[in-house]
Structure 1
Amino acid sequence: MLRYYTAAEVEAGLDYVRLIDALAESFRRGGEAMPVRQSYELGTPDKPGHLLTMPAWERGKALGVKLVTVFPANAARGIGSVSSLYTLFDGATGQPRAMIDGEALTNRRTAAASALASRYLSRRNSNTLLVIGTGRIASCLPAAHRAVRPIERVLVWGRNAERARVFAGTFCHQGFAAEPVADLTEALAQADIVSCATTSSEPIVLGRYLRPGTHLDLVGAFTPNMRESDDDAICRSRVFVDTYGGALAEAGDLLQPIAARRWHADRICGDLHELTSGARSGRLDESDITIFKSVGAASEDLAAASLLVGGWDSVAGGASS
């Protein structure tokens, strides 16, 4: 029967260790099909609206599509501007299997993809994480990174100091030694891993302040006009991406230094398929500065949804037996 999975069920059913491994296997194999995300305008001149569709499938196994609506005017109504829903179908019969809270699925798999990259790119003894941003994806990042590295200390920086303080308190309840920070430059000097999840259109992380050995995880900027790092950060680093196609179409952190002729796409050192398959090496030296730039991939949604539904099916089957 078709079942709806709530945000709470997504969080309970997708522990990071298993989810990271599922994403690793998906990237290692390489998805059979993942068409470019489509965007449709469907609002009015005074109240714009957009529908995004993100399909992916593995023939004979599973297929799914995430539907995302963006209605910026909703903020004035006191409701969310972005809504999403994921539908998973059986790959052999085409029958619908599940409808899933899209935001929770996206947040969980995005953080897991960052942790997967960190497995190859951060130093093994990394124990201090700097989280830049105080949104919903940012709230997932410490737990995800802790699944692959011995993270003990979490520093939190945000434009809203009170939200940063609240976030730090939440991370303390998760078992981290967490604290808000006001001086971002000072925090960058202490961090082993910097995970940035914002909607900034101006650089926040400046390359001249990155110390050798740092791993920079750029999650938030997902359009050519957005960026979280400056040209110097990109030029000083060994850069990796989730997928070449997505990054070179949407990642302003890379497209802007390319346009300025400060950097070139052929300097990308690898993507998650190449890292997980062993085709490319990750960190080569303890002093490397590494960057992982993600914009999201529909194959991640499919892998996460399949793991979620399969896990709950196993529980249900065990209970009935």
Structure 2
Amino acid sequence: MQHFDEAATRAPLDFERLVPALRDAFTAEAQVPPRHVHSIETAGGGHDSESGNSSSKGTVLIMPAWSDAGFLGIKTINIFPGNSARGLPGLHATYVLYDARTGVPLAMMDGNEITARRTAAASALGASFLARKDARRLLVLGTGRIARMLPAAHASVRPIDEVWVWNHRTEGAEALAAQWRAEGWNARAATDLEAAVREHADIVSCATLATAPLVRGEWLAPGSHLDLIGSFTPAMREADVQCFAGARTYVDTNEALQKSGDLLDAMAAGTLHTQDVQGTLAELCRGERAGRASDEERTVFKAVGSALEDLTAATLVWKSAA
């Protein structure tokens, strides 16, 4: 079994290659069973003893998928939001690729790179159907691994030339904006989230682990596109219920209707009904559903992630090495 470290996993997954690969994958057929979700809580001491915490809470996801192309993949992803206080990433993942015809293990890959890059690529794929053609101003909420990739991802499908970043810790936003500027982006940190959404965003992309709404519907301008890719459980949410009122809403998969706190809250409040969801990413890619209909309408894309995206990225890594 081959091993692909972070650098080797990252190398083939540029967005100019990964976004079209995802579009092809959603157009084709694949088997994607529902993810397995487990809540984890460990008590007492351990690595938390110095911080005084008596327990650690997290979520474990197990995400399998396989396709007629002959590949089977299983990702295990651990999400521990409290890690930020320990100076650690909140997400750790591993990915194992198998031969789908024999079950023989082929490769172990860096699941963090696969998760971050496929999530940013799916965000851009959604925007390729739903953001205005002339969308050039991107506002990113969050400063984690996925958030850092969003300018490059969206620039592969839209003419992004102005990037803003907001974070609940201002110093984090300032640091990321400085990093982006060093990479050549016209990037600035936003200290006032409402003003940034109202004044500086054609696309608002949320990549956080928030459990309370950050973006409010009343702030969103006509013609804007709201991209919600951070939350993936009923307890997590990044947008208030008014974000969905009067907007054309799409999801990555129908699983989002059961997993997303954003959607569940909006449906409970009556600002979104199941029949109001305009389509999935697969339906958009196959041309079965239309995307944005006018420059004036608001659109929302809610993603909780799909094992098909992981399998697509892992297959790219494997084939590139071969």
Is the shorter-chain TM-score for this pair beyond 0.5, marking a shared fold? yes
| Alignment equivalent of 1:207, drawn from 210, 213, 217 | 217
Q: Is the 8 A contact 2:128 2:157 kept in 1?
A: yes
> Partner residue of 2:94?
85
- TM-aligned CA deviation for residue 77 of structure 1: 6.6
Q: What CA distance in whole angstroms lies between the structure 1 residues aligned with 2:40 and 2:226?
A: 36
> Partner residue of 1:100?
109
Q: What CA distance in whole angstroms lies between the structure 2 residues aligned with 1:54 and 1:86?
A: 9
- State the one-letter code of the partner of 1:219: I
> Partner residue of 2:49?
none
> Partner residue of 1:27?
26
| Alignment equivalent of 2:76, drawn from 41, 62, 67 | 67
- TM-aligned CA deviation for residue 236 of structure 1: 2.5
> Which deviations, in whole Å up to 9, do the C-alpha atoms of 1:11-65 show, x marking residues without a partner?
221110110011001111132x111111345654554565431100014611010
| Alignment equivalent of 1:36, drawn from 31, 34, 37 | 34
Residues 49 and 257 of structure 1: CA distance in aligned 2, closer, same or farther (over 3 Å): closer
- TM-aligned CA deviation for residue 201 of structure 1: 1.5
Q: Is the 8 A contact 2:29 2:67 kept in 1?
A: no
- Whether 2:192 is the aligned partner of 1:183: answer yes
- State the one-letter code of the partner of 2:6: A
Q: What CA distance in whole angstroms lies between the structure 1 residues aligned with 2:287 and 2:241?
A: 29
- TM-aligned CA deviation for residue 170 of structure 1: 1.4
Q: Is the 8 A contact 2:64 2:74 kept in 1?
A: yes
Q: Is the 8 A contact 2:164 2:200 kept in 1?
A: no
Q: Is the 8 A contact 1:196 1:228 kept in 2?
A: yes
- TM-aligned CA deviation for residue 80 of structure 1: 4.9
Q: What CA distance in whole angstroms lies between the structure 2 residues aligned with 1:17 and 1:162?
A: 31
Q: Secondary structure at the match of 1:89?
A: strand
Kindly report which structure 2 residues correspond to 1:280-291, keeping only aligned pairs within 5 A, or say none. 280-291=289-300
Deviation larger for 276-285 or 251-260: 251-260
Deviation larger for 215-224 or 89-98: 89-98
| Alignment equivalent of 1:159, drawn from 162, 165, 168 | 168
| Alignment equivalent of 1:172, drawn from 173, 178, 181 | 181
Q: What CA distance in whole angstroms lies between the structure 1 residues aligned with 2:214 and 2:189?
A: 16
- TM-aligned CA deviation for residue 66 of structure 1: 0.4
> Partner residue of 1:54?
63
Q: What CA distance in whole angstroms lies between the structure 1 residues aligned with 2:71 and 2:170?
A: 44
| Alignment equivalent of 1:300, drawn from 282, 306, 309 | 309
Q: Secondary structure at the match of 2:245?
A: helix
Q: What CA distance in whole angstroms lies between the structure 2 residues aligned with 1:78 and 1:182?
A: 23
- Whether 2:279 is the aligned partner of 1:277: answer no
- TM-aligned CA deviation for residue 73 of structure 1: 7.4
| Alignment equivalent of 1:238, drawn from 228, 248, 255 | 248
Q: Secondary structure at the match of 1:236?
A: coil
Deviation larger for 295-304 or 190-199: 190-199
Q: Is the 8 A contact 1:30 1:273 kept in 2?
A: no
- TM-aligned CA deviation for residue 309 of structure 1: 1.1
**TM-score under structure 2 length normalisation:** 0.91
Residues 282 and 43 of structure 1: CA distance in aligned 2, closer, same or farther (over 3 Å): same
Gaps of 5+ in 2: 45-54
Q: What CA distance in whole angstroms lies between the structure 2 residues aligned with 1:265 and 1:45?
A: 39
- State the one-letter code of the partner of 1:25: D
> Partner residue of 1:319?
none
| Alignment equivalent of 2:205, drawn from 189, 195, 214 | 195
Q: Secondary structure at the match of 1:108?
A: helix
> Partner residue of 1:147?
156
- State the one-letter code of the partner of 1:161: T
Gaps of 5+ in 1: 314-321
Q: Is the 8 A contact 2:244 2:271 kept in 1?
A: no
- TM-aligned CA deviation for residue 82 of structure 1: 3.7
Number of paired residues?
Answer: 310
> Which deviations, in whole Å up to 9, do the C-alpha atoms of 1:78-134 show, x marking residues without a partner?
655542110001223322111011111100000000000111001111111001111
> Partner residue of 1:13?
12
Q: Secondary structure at the match of 2:27?
A: helix
> Which deviations, in whole Å up to 9, do the C-alpha atoms of 1:210-231 show, x marking residues without a partner?
1111011101111112111111
**TM-score under structure 1 length normalisation:** 0.91
- State the one-letter code of the partner of 1:37: R
